[in-house]
Amino acid sequence: MECLFCKIIAGEIPSNKVYEDDQTFAFLDIAPCNPGHTLVIPKEHYINIEEVPEELLEKVITSVKKVGAMIKDSLGAEGYTVQVNNDPVAGQVIPHLHLHIIPRHENDGHRLWKQGKYLSGEAEEIINKLTS
């Protein structure tokens, strides 16, 4: 298989493992936003969040919770950002579902996203499309 993350899970490519259980694997991101930036992935290959079965997604988010607590407790992070870049247009580089856990500190310089406002009637139009 050509998936980089599947090769990491198989031990073909080295990683800095943070946590592992029977269905998930967590390791340090090689290009961290902040020190301790960790990726949590399912061991089974799924490209995005829509593909992964709900039971496995529950296991992944449980691992995110465990690793997040480890980051706060061990690294002294004041909090952390959990992020999923779902599909290439959203910034997903590796086509294997992965959740980023980014340790956060006051004034760390990490920005989330720009914020905007809905134009008059735009929110209602979007709600109609989503719920019809």
Residues annotated catalytic, as ranges:
98
CA distance 122 to 27: 41
Q: Residue 121 carries which side chain, given as an amino acid letter?
A: G
* CA-based nearest residue to 99, from 59, 130, 70: 59
- Phi, psi torsion values for 79, nearest 5 degrees: -175, -170
